[in-house]
Structure 1
């Protein structure tokens, strides 16, 4: 028997939930704040229903987040407007278990970290399209990096964060979670009107930026359109450092000039009842010029560095949605997209009193200029098909999602250096034993095909939900033919690129029990996997001067994970309280390891090289944690929100702590909405980072902190809205563990204040609607 239609929001309405007794200790951490906030439960329920949100990332369908057996949160447009984040890292500041590291030396926002898993192990996507890979070459010169180029934040409808393995729906790369960005649609501006225009201007003191964004939308019953353009000009991100100048001791930020231009265009056609065709174009281009006045002690002959970065991501897409009334399915969604991401980096280094070969670390008597160009490019074509069926078998209601994803990505990387010896007057293409141009890994294509099905079974009039799901994936890696000779003489060996095939079945089972109108308990057990990528399998690098080699590994296995999460949701004390505990285990973690050296080697280094490095499946990693979230709504438009998260991570292979784990963090917010005006006071807290694996690196250990932010808005009339925010109200000096770890800052390194966050800073915004 078919159901005539599905309830709004994708699932039946339901109440919220409560914590389990074993988590009482964690609940106690926020209990004083809860008890201090009195409000009637009935009133809170009424207000909550008015503000009900839906999410799509967790199930690939519109769904009530309270009925999902996993932890997912969303950052909506109102929150973005109120807080005016200056980058992706600031966007995630209110998520106690999510952080995005920054490269404060040059590149800005880098890798997203969810519950201790980060980088290429977390899937990021915009409107369902996977963002390009995060690539970081490392090294003291910090000249080879490509950051995932996310969407312009003024174009976002909301951002959704799904925690834990999600391969049962998304396949490879969703090992640690998913960040889903959803962009604006025409109706987000039109809201029932035939035309709408908007201007938004924002000034942010933290990075001295000024941004102008204009929107235009129009439509009728047959066609709707949206066009948005944003330009932003700024400087470097401030910090609390005092020491200027050039050298290892510099604390003030490196001077930068930044610019970004972004375009979003959408056309939505409704040619017939139940049909919707969407055309999307998105383009974001960013330019950055930096004078790297803080120099690295690891390359003492480098006395001056400056450079430019240009990143561009362009996306085309067409999607078709059909909701028939007389077919065996209730919804069909078909999407095709093409995306190209291009990152180009130019660096000029002056090397003083160095060797005739222009070494960065030794020699004397020569002065050199070294021009360094780096390129990273990814082109992706993809096709997604999903069908939804809502039906009933006896007393059981079903919400079935099934379909296929196909994606083909071509990846290329190149370094090209030119060396000018100013003393001898010579110019060449050889540096430190390498001859340029060169590639650090074999370029090539990766093809991903996934088939998935997930059913939500509703029993007992919606009081019990069971969600089984499974996905099958095939991943093929086809590198271009590439080889390098390592070593010299008769012992030299030839290293060649290798193809790989991977397949995996990723099952999932989730359950939610609505024990009472106020209490729900849930749990999920899910399997995840991530196939190795082009760089990990086909790293091919040989440095003749220092006689070391990076080896390919055609036998590299896919990483795997098993995630268990248990939670409870309670509607009580005038609000919602959500508690989750999780235990995620990861096998065959891929790490780069020195497999041999000239003093002690498990096996002989190939080609007589001094040392060799290779990506291997080594670690067994386990991450356990607990989180509490709460929100309370009161009469008069007042609200309180809070979250606290703690985790422990271990490299069980080597019996060491996992450094990607953040210290205990909490965020508390008090909001008020008086109709014509409102505001928010927010307190961000973090404990001192103490549990660190410093067997190989004696990291700088940042202290804990507490930072207050205040924002307010005023709806002058129906057209004009003013927003102001003061961040770090008390001008606190603090440092983030994620930034320190990304830079590899040592406890003995000079000028640690270089890595501090901005002091007290103001943001202002004007929005005008016509």
Structure 2
């Protein structure tokens, strides 16, 4: 059915476009205009002018590399990864793979320690309790994005809580992205296919302009099955290494209206909606006593915003004000058929509703460019566990933490000081934040509860110095912080019959970080007949007061139960080196290079061990060609990953069996495009061309080296992707 739909879509697009549209004449597919980052300084800045390491992945790059999700998005980004394990979870125990794409890990730190925003609005927290695991990477569709920015290092001086290790900003498309100058209507349609999961994508968007008003309407639909592995063991039971059968669907909708009511002044109304559903038959979870294990998970996010943006106003060069709201709901339902025990179900939800406002303004005063701003948001967060046949001593429905109002507020100031004719820029920033967790009587929460509030000051200093036209130096120092979540401050679960319980901690402190990086940059340098740009950077980060759930008292007996509590438990040190370079020749040939290495240690109660969340060395080498007239082109990219050193796997809990460290591996990906006309582009790619058997460390860490199901954690073998896009 998917193949039939894909073929019909391709045929329809080709038939509609081919006879009526002129052949392209001189359109260049790969434009080398430098991208622009807003994430790094809150003002439009070229990445090579930013006082930090930031990557900007554009919509063109997303389409060229046949990206379908955030794991694909960072496959050529050393130092950045996404945890996404195979779905091998249980009904009441085990969460492996339940969270999907769990979120970004930047320089060894991930989870809620990386700030994620969609058009400036925070993505909800991740949440794990019992067999429930809610990731953060499934709330948006990349086909609706204009760009994705990835900032390495603390972001709290400009964005507040959560920016301890870095930040990722998703920016959706605008009407102007589809409308050419002088035109009042534009449209785009695309179909795509991926053999790795039999995924079919269909999207369409259109934009129009009438006078001072413009609008955009966009929609994307995805249908897919389970992502294949290199496993060869089928059947049922824990020995299965083939992927469990799954069906995944998602719909994403984006609507925007823009009113340019005066020169340099605009109002923007945005509505976006995303929902996804995953159904799975977890064959690996069957056993002599479990006859069936079925899952049905849904995720929904709905957001709106109303914003004003202005330029050249009284007292400011540019400024903006945005009011927004967002509702995100997840549900994870599991049915477990048991014998001789009674069948049971688990129905777990995790919901977030947020309302907020943000504002900023920029003013140039001589050599100073001042940016000031602030934001306020209130999130109502609740998690409910329900189902049938609850654990002994527990009744359903229940909550692990009380329904909580979580308020974040902050103000910041940044000064970009330009000296030496603009070649030297010194950029200090300072932000004050306050957070409050307010609980109320919640009949579903059986434990004690406590409110909490605190504030924090986050400074940052950056320097960028271009010593000439081609050589630049940069450095930054900054602090980050992350406020405790409602489920960490208040967390209760009691099972006295088995000798354990958990308790709230109203004295829980924020996690904090200090990071420094120093680097050198090249741009527009002619070398071996090519135009070369790149950078190399060294960095060190120190993290304090990591929040971790630990046993704080008790001996695991009914009379002296063990007490679990979220406490500030661990300090971490990470250091590393990263480098990247790009080269372009006039004949259309291009090359790319990227490298990342890091190591880290974690110290708890005076004991120091290696930090296992850091990815091993990764190197990316690419060679591309774009025909000078822009009619066709492609790229060949090789990715090499070093095996994880066994000495770097301390603390994973693999015991004497050791931890799976994998092997060195090299992947070869080949992609190509053909501009059939100026309006129609076909793309194709063969990924993992050499059919390598491999696993990403981020997915396999924690699995014992002696495990008989290591192949279940492998990535797809040789697979291909296709897409056809029509623009009007």
Quote the Cα distance in structure 1 between the aligned partners of 2:442 and 2:256.
41
- The offset of 1:609, in angstroms, is 4.3
Match of 1:313 among 287, 297, 301: 301
Q: State whether structure 2 residue 595 is matched by structure 1 residue 644.
A: yes
CA contact (8 A) 2:402 2:444 kept: no
> Structure 2: how far apart are the matches of 1:89 and 1:437?
34
Shift of residue 85, structure 1, vs aligned partner: 1.6
Is the 8 Å Cα contact of residues 54 and 149 (structure 2) preserved in structure 1?
yes
Contact 1:149/1:312 (8 A) holds in 2? no
1:388 paired with 2:366, answer no
Partner of 2:327: 340
Say if 1:234 and 1:484 are closer, same or farther in 2 by CA, change over 3 A: closer
| 2:261 equivalent in structure 1 | 271
Work out which of the residue numbers 151, 154, 157 in structure 2 matches 1:165. Answer: 154
Pick which of 652-661 and 240-249 moved more: 652-661
- Whole-Å separation in 1 of the counterparts to 2:356 and 2:147: 23
2:464 maps to 1:512: yes
How far, CA to CA, are the matches of 1:88 and 1:115 in structure 2?
A: 16
CA deviation map 1:615-651 (0-9, x unaligned): 1112111110110010111121111111100001110
Q: Does 1:556 align with 2:474?
A: no
Quick check: 1:146–1:343 contact (8 Å CA) kept in 2? no
CA contact (8 A) 1:248 1:295 kept: yes
What TM-score, normalized by structure 1, do the two folds share?
Answer: 0.85
Could you tell me which residue of structure 1 aligns to residue 664 of structure 2?
704
Deviation at residue 60 of structure 1 after TM alignment: 1.1
The 5-angstrom pairing of residues 657-672 of structure 1 reads 657-672=610-625
Local SS of the residue matching 1:434:
coil
Partner of 1:76: 58
Deviates more, 1:220-229 or 1:106-115: 106-115
> 2: CA distance between counterparts of 1:595 and 1:350?
37
For the 8 Å contact 2:103–2:135, the answer to whether it is kept is no
1:524 maps to what in 2?
476
Q: Does 1:114 align with 2:106?
A: yes
Q: How is 1:433-452 mapped onto 2 (pairs within 5 angstroms)?
A: 433-452=393-412
Q: 2:565 aligns with which of 605, 610, 614?
A: 614
What is the CA-CA distance between 1:114 and the residue it aligns to?
0.4
TM-superposed CA distance for 1:103, in Å, is 2.9
Distance 1:694 1:303, change over 3 A: farther
**Which residue pairs with 1:375 in the alignment?**
349
1:368 Cα offset (Å): 2.1
Which region of structure 1 is more displaced relative to structure 2, 676-685 or 568-577?
568-577
Summarize the alignment of residues 279-318 of structure 1 with structure 2, pairs less than 5 Å apart: 279-295=269-285, 301-318=289-306
Partner SS, residue 190 of structure 1: coil
Rounded to whole Å, the distance in 2 between the matches of 1:481 and 1:649 is 43
Q: 2:222 is matched with which residue: 203, 211, 232?
A: 232
| Alignment partners' CA distance in 2, 1:441 and 1:271 | 47
- Mapped contact 1:434–1:545 kept (Cα < 8 A): no
Query: 1:88 Cα deviation (Å)?
Result: 1.1
The answer for the alignment partner of 1:629 in structure 2 is 580
Q: Deviations over 1:346-387 (max 9, x none)?
A: 1001223xxxxxxxxxxxxx2321011000000011100100
Alignment of 1:459-474 (within 5 A): 459-474=419-434
Query: In the aligned structure 1, how far is the partner of 2:30 from the partner of 2:254?
Result: 32
Alpha-carbon distance in structure 1 between the residues aligned to 2:441 and 2:547 = 23
Find the partner of 1:750 among 708, 717, 722.
708
Deviation readout 1:146-171 (Å, 9 max, x if unpaired): 44433211111111000001100000
Provide the C-alpha distance between the structure 1 equivalents of 2:683 and 2:31, rounded to a whole number of angstroms.
26
Please give the secondary structure, in 1, of the residue aligned with 2:261: coil
Q: Which runs of 5 or more structure 1 residues have no equivalent in the other structure? A: 1-46, 353-365, 420-429, 486-493, 600-604
Q: CA deviation at 1:98?
A: 0.4
Conserved 8 A contact 1:244-1:250: yes
State whether residues 57 and 162 of structure 1, in contact with CA within 8 Å, keep that contact through their aligned partners in structure 2.
Answer: yes
Shift, 1:302, TM fit: 3.5
Shift of 1:262: 0.8
Distance, in Å, in 2 between the alignment partners of 1:495 and 1:155 is 43
Shift, 1:588, TM fit: 0.8
How many angstroms does 1:261 deviate by?
0.8
Q: Distance in 2 between matches of 1:517 and 1:320?
A: 37
1:136 Cα deviation from its structure 2 partner: 2.4
- How far 1:265 sits from its partner (Å)? 0.5
Q: Which residue of 2 aligns with 1:721?
A: 681
Q: How many correspondences in the alignment?
A: 675
Match of 1:542 among 485, 494, 502: 494
Report the CA distance between 1:720 and its aligned residue.
Answer: 1.1
Other structure's SS at 2:341 match: strand
Q: Is the 8 A contact 2:522 2:534 kept in 1?
A: yes
Show the counterpart of 1:417: 387
**Structure 2: how far apart are the matches of 1:48 and 1:718?**
14
Alpha carbons 2:189, 2:726 under 8 Å: kept: yes
Counterpart of 1:330? 317
Alpha carbons 1:116, 1:661 under 8 Å: kept? yes
**Counterpart residue number, 2:537:** 580
Secondary structure of the corresponding residue to residue 263 of structure 1: strand
Alignment correspondent of 2:190? 200
- Paired residue for 1:684? 639
1:208-219 mapped onto 2 (5 Å cutoff): 208-219=198-209
Deviation at 1:670, TM superposition (A): 1.3
- TM-score for the superposition, normalised by structure 2: 0.90
* Stretch moving more, 665-674 or 251-260: 665-674
Kept in 1, the 8 Å contact 2:70–2:137? The answer is no
CA deviation after TM superposition for structure 1 residue 484, in Å: 10
Instruction: Indicate how the Cα distance of structure 1 residues 68 and 49 shifts in structure 2: closer, same or farther if over 3 A, else same.
Output: farther
In 1, distance between residues paired with 2:68 and 2:463? 38
What CA distance in whole angstroms lies between the structure 1 residues aligned with 2:465 and 2:509? 38
Which stretch of the first structure deviates more once superposed, 379-388 or 568-577?
Answer: 568-577
| RMSD of aligned alpha carbons | 1.9
Distance 1:348 1:734 in 2: 32
Cα distance, 1:747 vs structure 2: 2.4
Deviation at 1:693, TM superposition (A): 1.1
